Amino acid sequence: MKKWISILLALCLLLALAACGGAEQNTPAPTEAPAATEAPATEAPAAETPAPEEPALWTREGFFGDENEYMLSVTWMEDVEEPGWYVGCMLGEDWSEDSWGGILPQEGNSLKGALPTTGSRDPLTVTLTEEGADGLMMEVEGGETYHFTPRDIPKATIFVTINVEGGGIIDYAEGEEAPESAPEYPFQSAVINLAEPKIHTFAAWPKAGNLFVKWTKNGEDLSADAQITLLLDESADYIAVFEEDPDWQDPVLAHAGDYQCGRAHAQVTSFGEGRAFIVVEWGSSAWELTRWILVGELDTETGTIRYTDGTKSNLTYDDSGEATEEETVYTDGTGTIVFNGDGTFTWHEDQSGNGEDMVFERIPASGIDYLALVNKVNPLPEGWEDALETVATTNSVGESVEVEAKAYAAYERLKDDLEQNDGVYLELDSARRSVAAQQDIMDRFIEKYGADYAAKTVAQPGYSEHHTGLALDLYFKIRNEDGSFTDVYYNEDMEKEEYRGIWDAIHAKLPRYGFILRYLEGEEHITGYRYEPWHIRYVDSVSIAGEIMSQPGYTLEEYLAGKSAPEAEIDLSGSDLYTEQELTDAMLAIKCKFAAWGVCELHAIRYAGDEANSAENLEWLNTLNEGADYTQVAEFLMDFHTAPDAGGAWEQDLEYTDWQWWLARTQDGGWEIVTNGY
Write out the residues near Zn ion by the rule CB under 5 A. Answer: 473, 535
Give 332's contacts (C-beta < 8 A, 6+ positions apart). 308, 309, 310
Output 502 or 638, the one with its CB closest to Zn ion: 502
Residues 599/604/608/609 CA torsion (nearest 10 deg): 150
Question: What DSSP string describes 83-104?
Answer: -EEEEEEE-SS-TTTSEEEEEE
Minimum distance of Zn ion from residue 478's CB (angstroms): 21
Measured in whole angstroms, the distance separating CA 129 from the mean position of its chain's CA atoms is 45
Q: Nearest CA to 156 among 190, 185, 188, 192? A: 192
Minimum distance of Zn ion from residue 471's CB (angstroms): 5
Q: Is 488 left (phi over 0), alpha (psi -120 to 50) or beta?
A: beta
Q: Is 351 helix (H, G, I), strand (E, B) or coil?
A: coil
Minimum distance of Zn ion from residue 464's CB (angstroms): 8
Output 239 or 517, the one with its CB closest to Zn ion: 517
Output 473 or 672, the one with its CB closest to Zn ion: 473
Output 473 or 547, the one with its CB closest to Zn ion: 473
Output 189 or 468, the one with its CB closest to Zn ion: 468
Residue 95 near residue 33, CB atoms below 8 Å: no
Minimum distance of Zn ion from residue 535's CB (angstroms): 4
Output 226 or 458, the one with its CB closest to Zn ion: 458
Minimum distance of Zn ion from residue 473's CB (angstroms): 4
Minimum distance of Zn ion from residue 427's CB (angstroms): 14
Output 265 or 535, the one with its CB closest to Zn ion: 535
Amino acid 272 reads G
Rounded CA gap, 601 and 66, in Å? Answer: 68
Minimum distance of Zn ion from residue 465's CB (angstroms): 7
Minimum distance of Zn ion from residue 466's CB (angstroms): 6
Minimum distance of Zn ion from residue 435's CB (angstroms): 16
Q: Nearest CA to 609 among 659, 652, 575? A: 575
Give 138's contacts (C-beta < 8 A, 6+ positions apart). 72, 89, 126, 127, 128, 145, 146, 148
Output 139 or 473, the one with its CB closest to Zn ion: 473
Rounded CA gap, 293 and 295, in Å? Answer: 7
Minimum distance of Zn ion from residue 259's CB (angstroms): 28
Asked whether the CA dihedral 279, 426, 468, 390 is positive or negative, the reply is: positive
Residue 461 near residue 439, CB atoms below 8 Å: yes
Which residue's CB atom is positioned nearest to Zn ion?
Answer: 535
Minimum distance of Zn ion from residue 557's CB (angstroms): 16
Give 206's contacts (C-beta < 8 A, 6+ positions apart). 167, 168, 212, 242, 245
Q: Nearest CA to 332 among 95, 96, 120, 94? A: 120
Output 33 or 431, the one with its CB closest to Zn ion: 431
Give 211's contacts (C-beta < 8 A, 6+ positions apart). 242, 243, 244, 245
**Phi and psi angles of residue 47, each rounded to the nearest 5 degrees, phi first:** -60, -30
Output 279 or 397, the one with its CB closest to Zn ion: 397
Output 380 or 634, the one with its CB closest to Zn ion: 380
